[in-house]
Amino acid sequence: MNRSASRIAVILGFCACLLGSASALAVAQSPAAPVRVASAELRQLLPTVSVAGQVQSHSSADLSASVEGNLAWVADVGTTLKRGQVVARLDTAQLSLQKAELGARVTRAEIALKQAQREFERLSAAGEAITRDQLDQQENIRDLARSDLEIAKATQQELEERLSRMEFRAPFDGVVVERDKRAGEYAAIGDVVARLAGKGGLEIHLFLPLRHVRAITPGGMVTVQIDGAEAHAPVKAIVAAGDARSQSFEVVLDAENMRPQPAVGALVHAELPLGIAQQLLAVPRDALIIRAEGMAVFRIRNQKAERIAVKPGVADGDWIAVDGSLAPGDSVVVRGGESLHDQDQVQIVAGPPA
């Protein structure tokens, strides 16, 4: 029995040795993971925020009716107008008749006043031939005739002013971008008849989260992406009052000198700087590995991946600042790090893509 037990122990020990040798051989023969690397650098990083916006014209107006009436004519969409040119016109046939009537009333009042004035002068020259009451009565008739003339002229001027508002004139050089009503339709007071957009004074209106209101300053340059092209525009104004529902505030960029010149209504993407640039240790964004235990990067030393826990900071484009046990010049994995573990063997195949 003792001899059999000894044989079994020897056999088991031999098998364990074989298994250990096989495992060691397998580890030794496991291929190194291919990775791409980049160097950690000290860089000037400027935090930015990316927002969408729209190009608008500084000179834009909704032309609405200040008097009511039927429209006789409205300029077509796309019509280019100079300042002061007519955009739309109301039918003035009825007011023209009233104008003729008031003109006749003014003429009649002028004749009545002349007659009353001559009669007053005649009675005044008669001396003792007339009584004082007769002279006072004629003076009153003359004064009433003068008042009637003033009332007729005021009514005539009121009609002239109303006639002047029967035409909608362009307040600036621009183009008709929308026609809300057409000829023959009735326009009540306050109804928008047409919309006019100016050709100059282009602006870009952006809406940013309210938490950045103190970080944006007038005059700062903003990078704008429009139709695949990149341009720059300065901050023209900041509307520091926030919207309670959206928790955002408005920033206006001066797009007058942008090249290429954007079209009114075009959508753009803008990168606004938040604060000032700082020199920080940074790595490419692709170097960050996010796992349950936290964020980390893999540093390469002696063909092995060393996991370094980091805390991300300011981001600027493709680079992000990190706080951890890294130094400038350290090689970090930017491709192939998703499946790596601490102390894994690696093979550097190339640098990061350009």
User: Other C-beta atoms within 10 Å of 316: how many?
Assistant: 19
* Residues 133, 139, 145, 147, Cα dihedral to 10°: -110
Task: Please give the pLDDT value at position 199.
Answer: 67
Contact 247, 21 (CB under 8 A): no
- Could you tell me the two tokens for 311? 């805390």
DSSP letter at 292? T
Task: Please give the pLDDT value at position 214.
Answer: 77
Q: What is the DSSP string of 193-228?
A: EEEEEESS-EEEEEEEEGGGTTT--TT-EEEEEETT
* Element of type H or E holding 187: strand 186-187
Task: Please give the pLDDT value at position 141.
Answer: 92
- Per-residue model confidence as pLDDT tens digits over 150-184: 999 999 998 888 888 888 888 888 888 889 889 98
Could you read off the pLDDT tens digit of each residue along the chain, which spans 354 residues?
445 555 555 455 554 544 454 444 444 445 788 989 999 999 888 777 888 888 887 777 888 888 888 999 999 998 888 888 999 999 988 888 888 999 999 999 999 999 999 998 888 888 777 888 888 898 999 999 999 999 999 999 988 888 888 888 888 888 888 898 899 899 998 889 998 887 667 888 988 888 777 778 788 788 888 877 888 888 888 887 777 777 888 889 888 888 777 777 788 888 887 777 788 899 998 999 988 888 999 999 988 999 999 999 888 778 899 998 899 999 999 988 888 888 889 888 865 443
pTM over 0.75: no
Domains present along the chain, CATH in parentheses: 31-45+278-350 (2.40.420.20), 48-58+200-273 (2.40.30.170), 60-90+169-198 (2.40.50.100), 93-164 (1.10.287)
Q: Which residues are within 8 A (CB) of 223 and not within 5 positions of it... i.e. 6 or more apart?
A: 230, 231, 232, 270, 271
Q: Using only the alpha carbons of the chain, give its radius of gyration.
A: 43
User: Other C-beta atoms within 10 Å of 141: how many?
Assistant: 17
- Per-residue model confidence as pLDDT tens digits over 99-109: 899 999 999 99
Per DSSP, the three-state class of 19 is helix
* Residues 35, 41, 44, 47, Cα dihedral to 10°: 40
- Could you tell me the two tokens for 31? 């291929």
